[in-house]
Amino acid sequence: MVCKKFRVIKPEIRVLGVDDGIFVPHSKGLVPVVGVVFRGGYWLDGVMHTKIKVDGFDATAKIASMILNSPHYKQLRVIMLNGITFAGFNVADIKKLNMKTKLPVVAVTREKPNFAEIREALKNLPKSEERWKSIKNAGETIKVYTRTKREKVYMQYSGICEEDAKKILRLTSTRSNIPEALRVAHLIASGLGVA
């Protein structure tokens, strides 16, 4: 895998945190997705948004379009996703997102994904093998200690070297064990309610 190696990781590196809003599982409809631009783990620089279908197939394309059409795009250095599944099992393919945006992508979760349970749940949805392929495409999950030896998250990444991804997660996790951009994206997206 080709990875982007940063020469220097500045304390104010501009990262984008992306998370989805609240939705009714197994329903039809659209779910808000919010992107929050942060300088490092301290300053909120901007917000962007889009909508995706519950259990759909448009997460990768819609998130890429949201980023590419944002006035913040040229300043962004890393995309961080709150996991790789949005609006149920609308899977964001991190390798495709990396290719479309030309930006490194790091997917972050608080808990290690249980792939056996995920595979079983996918059997209830159309095109389950296509969804599973996108999930497997994200690669292995790697444990990262962010603020202390007890505060950890799990990451998958594309277009960035593992050590750089870890450094950026640690640098931007200023108020909790997850990067500030993801924490704030979650707060905003959750406050939008069901679309």
What is the mean pLDDT of the segment spanning 1-24?
88
Phi, psi (rounded to 5 degrees) for 122: -65, -25
Model confidence pLDDT, tens digit, residues 59-107: 999 999 999 999 999 999 999 999 999 999 999 999 999 999 999 999 9
Write down the pLDDT at residue 193: 65
CA distance 101 to 79: 9
Of 54, 45, 51, which is closest to residue 32 (Cα–Cα)?
Answer: 51
Domain extent listing, the chain: 14-191
The average confidence (pLDDT) of the chain is 93
Q: Is the pLDDT of residue 130 over 50?
A: yes
Q: Is the pLDDT of residue 58 over 90?
A: yes
Q: Is the pLDDT of residue 114 over 80?
A: yes
Give 3-state DSSP helix, strand, coil % of the chain, rounded to 5.
30, 25, 40
CB-CB contact of 49 with 191 (8 Å): no
Q: Is the pLDDT of residue 1 over 70?
A: no
Write down the pLDDT at residue 6: 86
CA distance 155 to 113: 10
Q: Which long-range contacts (CB under 8 A, 24 or more apart) does 24-29 make?
A: 24/54, 24/194, 25/54, 25/88, 26/54, 26/55, 26/88, 27/54, 28/53, 28/54, 29/53, 29/54, 29/194, 29/195
Percent of the chain with pLDDT over 70: 97
Q: Is the pLDDT of residue 195 over 60?
A: no
What is the mean pLDDT of the segment spanning 21-25?
87
165 SS3 class: helix
b/e code 148-170 from CB counts within 10 Å (16+ = b):
eeeeebbbbbbbbbeebbbbbbb
Find the length of the chain.
195
- Selected from 3.50.50.60, 3.30.2170.10, 3.90.1490.10, 3.40.309.10, the CATH number assigned to the domain covering 14-191 reads 3.30.2170.10
CA distance 188 to 33: 9
What is the mean pLDDT of the segment spanning 164-181?
96
